[in-house]
Structure 1
């Protein structure tokens, strides 16, 4: 079942057309949300990011687009699917309604809520090999728009295709200054000794929800020294650990980059703290 502007539709029901601005111009935003047993993980952070992003894109925010309203629509969609006691992946897409060419003649928005069952209610650390490579054909611009979770993700798409074609599990993306900023589907953290860092959003990385949660955990972890700092490609092979974060999979440890292999001691420790934080929601 899909929720389109509050109406529950059966999967496969046509409800968009060629005038859709998300399709025509990428004039859309989305939030990928984890829900377990009807509890929305980190909902306030998702909602505040969505509202801030809509303002940046000059979308008209409806008066009823409150945190409570959208939460209710998510819960309604889950209930209509009969998945109240399941782990569920939600995609909430907001797009400007049809009208105009590049310049919209209508600033009002519509929304879509999609659901998909997840395998586990907990964040788990996969023990399989996970090899990455740098993607250097195109660069992410280190500007505000790059930090948004928008539908303009063609660079991530072709980097993902490059990884698949060359036998890698993922690619790390560079900004125009040739600094490493993130992977195709998650924020990057680097561990060296008792220090851990992640690129600041000013470098152009996604302003990730799980990134934010992990930073809050790290600032309270006395045995680790945390910083938001630039990561150069040369640092990757000197690191003890590299791992990625996103709100659906949690923490994914990178096991190999070129000839360097990595451990996951710190990632495992942080995963336990992340699950503990999620349970307190």
Structure 2
């Protein structure tokens, strides 16, 4: 393997989303990290790496590290991470390649469009649906924009790319985080602390396939409290402030010295 490789984390609930992505990335090598304790199905990928859950849930940080190691060991010179529920624009791989040539020392992030239910996934439909999430910068195709220090918390791991040397410099994701939440922002804070550039890449569009979610994510409340406390111990502040505020407004959690806890029953 040489050149770019796409690394994807997947579990059974996202299998059909993954199959859509694999069809769209057939021209490049794919590494799938299966993050359940069940047997992965047969997949059209160069490698399938198993990552069983940890004591506190899915090991997303460890799975991304394992995917990076596998792709690097197979000779990949550009690591492109896409969540299983994302499909790339036809130009995503080339846009990340061009950005890596211009900014080889950076972590690269393309725009993300959230698709509605039933959205078609052909090239023309995706182009017509392109509407990058307004929370993050979305440069014009071919444009690169270096993130300001204040923009690092806008890093999302659902679509990003970097060279193996940058991955090693960054130290990968902190595997102390298990279950849902916190590991993305922790990785971004580590990039900023190490002086590693974060670059917004115009034209590297990814499309998030629709699936039902809750906002705030009630099913992940305990994970968010645990990982938020780990993050605060490391960085001196709690992440995921919007969700914490929503949980507090609903009466589910309360402030305590140093952080948050569930409201006692």
Q: Give the TM-score normalised by the residue count of structure 1.
A: 0.29
Larger radius of gyration: 1
Higher strand share goes to which structure?
1
Which one scores higher on RCO, CA 8 angstroms, separation ≥ 6? 2
